[in-house]
Structure 1
Amino acid sequence: MTVTVTFAGSGDAFGSGGRLQSCIHVRRESGAVFLLDCGATSLVALKRLGLDPGEIRTVFLSHLHADHFGGLPFLVLDGQFSGRSNDLLVSGPVGLQERIIAAMEVGYPGSSAVRRKFRTRTVELTEQSTGIDLPRMIDGVCVRAWLADHPSGASAFVLRLEFDDVVIAYTGDTAWTDGIIEAAAGADLLIAECYYREKSIPYHLTLKALTDHAAKLSCERVVLTHMSADVLGHEMPYEAAHDGLVVTL
């Protein structure tokens, strides 16, 4: 078997190009499924592609902005009403549990206290003095996290996931940081934000930043995501994601 990466949602926070928000579906060789980010539109994105939300065992969050984690209340409630019985594990920065509860209570008051057939468990990633999280084994995935430059009310991370002899690096949202170089070193796939082409936007990656540092990126493949209207429709030196793109590793 192979690892398949499906960009269920490849858009930015504002639906540029009619794209859905960040939701990257990864099916492992064993068949186990996890998500990289779960934006508010994720349930729509998954069901549009015929991807069963009940199969998702783990969600790895880069940060706690709604276009990257706001789909969790819907994922939990969908599991409740569809009869899900297997636990859902969510990994993210310190404060994750409180933010999930708050999001559920804002959208559906009382929903966070409902007893379900499954638990929603959280694993918080904490940065060390170096700014790098020590490797953690989470549901069979070796996770490392570098601090991103993207304020979101909690730490934001550049992630590196190692599993099944495959390495996926993911920038999440961030201005350029050398943590991207380390996370992407030898990776089979780097999923990189590309919010603007050249215009400098605080806390976000641009195509110019990626090309300026291209020689330092030793990954096998780069796929761009989280693109604004400034990027969409232009010829790119890297592969650009779209909703429904499937990458096989």
Structure 2
Amino acid sequence: MKMLQLRLSMDTLHTLILLLPLLATLAHCDGHSLSQMLFCQPNAPSSGLLKMFDGDQMFSYNFSDNSVLPWIKDFDQWRDRAFPNASNISFHLKLCNQFREDLTKALIDITPEARGGAQVTVYTAHPLRLGAQNTLICVIDDVYPPALTITWRKNGDILKTGLNSHSYFAMDDFSFQAFSYLNATPYHSDVFSCEVQVGGDNRTIVGYWIPQYPVPSDLLENVLCGLGFALGIIFLLLSLLFFYFAKTLHNQD
């Protein structure tokens, strides 16, 4: 079964319609669904092609070099079968852009602007240990259109190293989700922020992260363990001492 999903967005600030057609092909088999989504837009990235299974993304298509990117390494074994009709991709992309251009002209000043309300959350990939390397994950939900500028800051300064971002992840409501990763070594006084700007929007959505309730470091664990062992010996000696005095007083009586 084939279904054509169409969603429009008009950028009134530039008197142009930001149109994002979504071309999705859905196949159902034994209660499972396999879907394919193609989008095109004036913003970067100008096009995208995603394949999902039961709502979970498996592959994305890289138009710059016509390669297939698996969402996780386990999917790499099916890379060659991800888009079996690769020869039709250019045709569908051309059709998508033609729809966008024609509907932009037809619906300008008619269709209201459709835009997601992006939400930003930042958390760590591993339990926090101050002074130990970790990975901060910036999750951006409800992204529409799929055109983001992501900036990481540490204590107000822009970071340009240790960054890694994944392609867009398609959601069931035809919005998108995106991830950005920062390799960092956090300390107690650090403040990290993930700043997100959606294409065609003047707003900046910021997610902050500061170290809280860290897992004790190995040095602190060793110190606490040694302190506990020393206190145990002291209490044992005191107990023996009290027992000795109590027995001595009892013998005198």
Specify the TM-score bucket, using the shorter chain as the normaliser: under 0.3
Q: TM-score, normalised by structure 1?
A: 0.24
Q: RCO (CA 8 Å, sep 6+): is it higher in 1 or 2?
A: 1
More strand by share: 2
Larger radius of gyration: 2
